[in-house]
Amino acid sequence: MSNPYPHELMVAGVCFSPLIPVLVTAFFAAVATVFLLNKTKLARWFYAPSYVFAAIMVLFVILTDRFWIRF
């Protein structure tokens, strides 16, 4: 029985973990979300914005892993 999810990604003969595209996607989604929070001035309600960025990135990693790229 084969697992349909990738265990590794191969680019030009070099193997990468499938966690790398998940982290890149989550990082850019978190940057976009924080940009929108700053633009709408909702970021001023947070005590520590850097922790909020990390929490949003972790949230996007979990959501990306759950619904799009499973590693």
Per-domain residue ranges of the chain: 9-67
* pTM > 0.85: no
Rounded to 10 degrees, what is the CA torsion of 40, 42, 48, 54?
-70
- Residue 35, pLDDT score: 94
Q: What CA–CA distance (Å, rounded) separates 58 from 50?
A: 13
Sequential pLDDT tens for the chain (71 residues): 566 666 677 778 888 887 888 889 999 999 999 999 999 998 889 888 889 999 999 999 999 888 876 65
